[in-house]
Structure 1
């Protein structure tokens, strides 16, 4: 038999309405756009094909000037509407429409929680038989503070939906629908109507990009002044952080064509896609991972048949152009649930690296995995998934514990992260690492100042090679060149750059054409190599190609320290970099010395010493330009 609540128990409620609502107002919506998204969720769940967002402004006196400030925000839809019982429950915290996993919203918090996070009074009209028969109810913070503890019973008001809102709509109101109005705004992030909608539409376009792209819903953004929609009303366009969609809000030239391409995984039916199974209560669910990477023309102005727009300086880094800045606002892994983005989780990115803007990853999971991912009740993030960014299992493992033993131990402890470990490690150590490597190769030779210095070194090394050849010191590359046409040289070099070192075709062709035109005999590139050697060599017809191994610590400790210097580096930073490079160079020579020291055979040790002396003579020739007799 259930416990009976008496009048005496009213003083001992588990929650007090006024304090609960006050606490929920601070529950953490990132901004007005995320709060509005909760209302749009409800509209889409109600089957709406049109959602209209109105930002209504009025003049206010600020110092000696009059400015426009948003005083009311409203969301109107043509969904199926609500009857009296459903409408009243929709405004009740923690009730809503129950735990329906087929809906975008399922926590029963969206309408009251999002609304009261932005305003002190929310009014709702909903109708199932024409807007003239709309039911009306509301929540008011002042009344709640005065003791109201129940949602007012919905009533029919004369005339139904006010004419003010009917006139603002883009057409006649449908026979069914809902209107939510936020009044007494006290937490809206932006002042004017246009600014409010501008800052809202980019996020709304990203959150609902799949619905917009598939024409399942239109979202109209309408600034209102003096009771009329002012010029500048528009429909939200998809904002795809993977930049694979056409007709998006991305700046020209990528507003009507993809800026990225599917990453090299998946199959021809689903390029750039892979799946991860996760089993819950004996049922297997699939997590879909989609990945994309910038097309070469997004980052380079010299890609054939893909010129940058007129006025876009080719000497300016792509990240500083409008499309690059747009990509810079879409950094991270996009978490998608029920076709709706929960969060663009930037914790997976390397925050200081501008190259991070040029990859996109989407992780899509079904609502059945909400608890596994740690979805919050305001649908803004998935806490368990986010906690695994840059996850290092070895840092948490016990001494000599294998990965399997580590997982078995955490399974015994009931660690909630366990079922996402394999997914997180795949994203961090395989997918993102591979994508970053490819992006590093994409702009080889693009930095003007670095390229100028590289050209000088290449020319000096080429002179040394030619001088030694003329003096009778023939190398393998000289022998391979005999009888070979320039076209054969071009093809051999392009194949090496694209197939062995993963440069894109356009970049490789450009580099080879320049080398042949200038008769260069050497080339320096960086590439990730699966070897302990810090550099390797390609011997081709007329071309000596040196490949610095990006995966070797020497790259980060020496080459990157000297070459990847920020434009705004201070004198102290430059001195630090020089000291660090000098220390690394000394350690490099110490490592060679110890290698000779550990060779057990005297004869073999002497051969290594001969090689060291020979290298010294070649170094003198290349650096000073003085051939050794």
Structure 2
């Protein structure tokens, strides 16, 4: 008998199919929903059926079957048989959400040992049925079984709500690799994902119904999936109240197509033609992050002292962190590589990139439609490091000459990284200036400074602000402060009035705040207001971003390594600050250098008092 020398054994083939790279059970289920939507279904139903038995009294009922039913066009015998072949789908023309025809068999085998498919075009009683079984594949099955007439089981017909004269049902059994144990957990975790993936389709009228069952009895909790929009511009949506019925974000940016928050780029595809890519951005409305917005106060059951990120809607936003890639009205991926994972403020912006299937090769779309590898790799693209001294235009031309596959996306990446994300983060910083954690830390510093000021007022002659206070009424001082905070530092009138009231009620003579002043080379500015010494940290100066902001940001959620990195970065920034002063003195002529040295020593003596040094001994350092 002649021996067989197969390059790949059946067991290895099955193992490869099982490890086909789906991120979760929910992602695999999404492939089945894709098929229904591609078949023009307006209703897709997801059933998660628990077994009647459980292993112990305390154990949950285990998921026994998962099925997706649609009322789409159904399949003829040939199409049905082809649908279970790997790489032999019918939608390879790249016009819809399908891609390489691997979705149904790959997603199914990644989760179960058996998949059954019924499809009909003349009523469910006239359905055709075929299947794949891993046990048969291991034993050498080489062809998809020929579809046979087989009515859709009555139990499925009973559970279905929108059974049509045409449609398809895909059933998974022998669920060896399903991620969650019970029906409720499976549906809850799947709902978040498919609400996000199909948010546009759902908004356009497609229903995705979720049905928990035990045995063949429907359990309470059947529902339609609500849109889950990472840009939080859709209403109604799955966002918790009060933002379930109104947008939690607003469009951000001027836009170049006549729509606020939308930029369009023309990108050449593998077909040689240019195709439009739309980049949309959004940012949280004030009321999402602040409980004190008049007429938009937080719900009564949510404490106004709660951090915005700890609110139900803040936690929801954190699960939608990243840049959303939309392909043919379906989300491909939510790419978190563009975010600062340790920064809780990152949840409050959204960016969506919308491109057509004709640009699949340019973006690097994978077979299972779960990522765009070329685009995602550019999340860590630092063009200045690669350019090695070249200008942006010169570097771009070099990439063009080398035929670099990243080139078509470089303009988009440059816009997102160099312009858009910086503007979004700056806006979010400004949105809560004078509130929250950073304000509390400023108050701690102000309190310590106040004690030093009291000591110096008793020991030295009156300062400028002390002298001004003697000739100015408290009301006049308040008006000066209000003008400074609103006109110079761009605080809202309500925030400015609150800050001023806090200063007066606590009898403070110092105030620390943040401001933007890109035109100033100083990293802080001083205002001598009657009775008040006001210091404004310049948020547009590198000292602020590299030193102060690094330490002022919330520590919550940051790992030990991230905290160490932040401390090291801040320490390095402080050392560079000292070296920059040393260079400043070094560049001065002799007399100004002597004055600078004296100023440094005088400042050092006062710093000792403000920092609470134990010793007041001063020694010449040179």
TM-score band, normalised by shorter chain: 0.7 to 0.9
1:231 to 204, 220, 226: 220
Change (3 A) 1:586 1:189: closer
2:441 to 450, 453, 457: 450
* CA distance in 2: counterparts of 1:581 and 1:379, whole angstroms: 41
* CA distance in 2: counterparts of 1:438 and 1:300, whole angstroms: 14
1:323 to 313, 316, 324: 313
Per-residue displacement from partner, 1:52-106 (whole Å, max 9, x unpaired)?
A: 0000110444356553111111111111111111111111110110412221112
1:241 to 230, 242, 247: 230
Q: How many residues align?
A: 607
1:496 to 476, 485, 488: 488
1:253 maps to 242
Change (3 A) 1:508 1:188: farther
* CA distance in 2: counterparts of 1:15 and 1:356, whole angstroms: 47
Question: What does 1:547-562 correspond to in 2, within 5 Å?
Answer: 547-555=536-544, 558-560=547-549
* CA distance in 2: counterparts of 1:559 and 1:369, whole angstroms: 42
TM-score by length of 2: 0.86
DSSP 3-state at the match of 1:182: strand
* CA distance in 2: counterparts of 1:117 and 1:349, whole angstroms: 30
1:511 to 499, 502, 506: 499
* CA distance in 2: counterparts of 1:134 and 1:469, whole angstroms: 96
DSSP 3-state at the match of 1:490: helix
- Deviation for aligned residue 1:407: 3.5
Residues 1:139 and 2:132 are matched in the alignment: yes
Per-residue displacement from partner, 1:463-504 (whole Å, max 9, x unpaired)?
A: 799999995847998799899695675355323333xxxx56
Question: What does 1:451-466 correspond to in 2, within 5 Å?
Answer: 452-456=443-447
Residues 1:151 and 2:166 are matched in the alignment: no
- The question of whether the paired residues in 2 share the 8 Å contact of 1:468 and 1:474 is answered with no
* CA distance in 1: counterparts of 2:148 and 2:493, whole angstroms: 68
Change (3 A) 1:516 1:344: same
Per-residue displacement from partner, 1:513-537 (whole Å, max 9, x unpaired)?
A: 5457768665422345435432234
1:627 maps to none
The farther-off stretch of 96-105 and 568-577 is: 568-577
* CA distance in 1: counterparts of 2:131 and 2:558, whole angstroms: 57
1:289 maps to 279
Residues 1:338 and 2:328 are matched in the alignment: yes
Per-residue displacement from partner, 1:364-412 (whole Å, max 9, x unpaired)?
A: 1111111100000100010011101131123334x54444443344334
The farther-off stretch of 421-430 and 509-518 is: 509-518
Change (3 A) 1:103 1:584: closer
Change (3 A) 1:248 1:476: farther
* CA distance in 1: counterparts of 2:265 and 2:200, whole angstroms: 21
- The question of whether the paired residues in 1 share the 8 Å contact of 2:32 and 2:68 is answered with yes
Question: What does 1:55-94 correspond to in 2, within 5 Å?
Answer: 55-62=48-55, 65=58, 67-94=60-87
1:42 to 31, 35, 44: 35
The farther-off stretch of 233-242 and 601-610 is: 601-610
Question: What does 1:472-487 correspond to in 2, within 5 Å?
Answer: 473=464
Residues 1:525 and 2:516 are matched in the alignment: no
- Deviation for aligned residue 1:148: 1.8
1:414 to 398, 403, 409: 403
Per-residue displacement from partner, 1:337-372 (whole Å, max 9, x unpaired)?
A: 011101111111112212111111111111111110
* CA distance in 1: counterparts of 2:568 and 2:149, whole angstroms: 78
* CA distance in 2: counterparts of 1:92 and 1:575, whole angstroms: 52
- Deviation for aligned residue 1:329: 1.1
DSSP 3-state at the match of 1:388: helix
Residues 1:364 and 2:357 are matched in the alignment: no
- Deviation for aligned residue 1:161: 1.3
1:188 maps to 178
- Structure 2: runs of 5+ lacking an equivalent: 613-622
- Deviation for aligned residue 1:585: 5.3
- Deviation for aligned residue 1:569: 10
* CA distance in 1: counterparts of 2:197 and 2:568, whole angstroms: 47
Residues 1:309 and 2:302 are matched in the alignment: no
Residues 1:168 and 2:156 are matched in the alignment: no
* CA distance in 1: counterparts of 2:246 and 2:232, whole angstroms: 9
* CA distance in 1: counterparts of 2:542 and 2:8, whole angstroms: 57
* CA distance in 1: counterparts of 2:303 and 2:559, whole angstroms: 27
Cα RMSD (Å): 3.9
- Deviation for aligned residue 1:112: 0.8
DSSP 3-state at the match of 2:142: coil
- The question of whether the paired residues in 2 share the 8 Å contact of 1:469 and 1:475 is answered with no
1:432 to 421, 428, 453: 421
* CA distance in 1: counterparts of 2:359 and 2:334, whole angstroms: 18
* CA distance in 2: counterparts of 1:95 and 1:195, whole angstroms: 33
* CA distance in 2: counterparts of 1:582 and 1:18, whole angstroms: 56
- Structure 1: runs of 5+ lacking an equivalent: 1-7, 625-629
Change (3 A) 1:468 1:242: farther
* CA distance in 2: counterparts of 1:455 and 1:299, whole angstroms: 25
Residues 1:213 and 2:206 are matched in the alignment: no
2:555 maps to 566
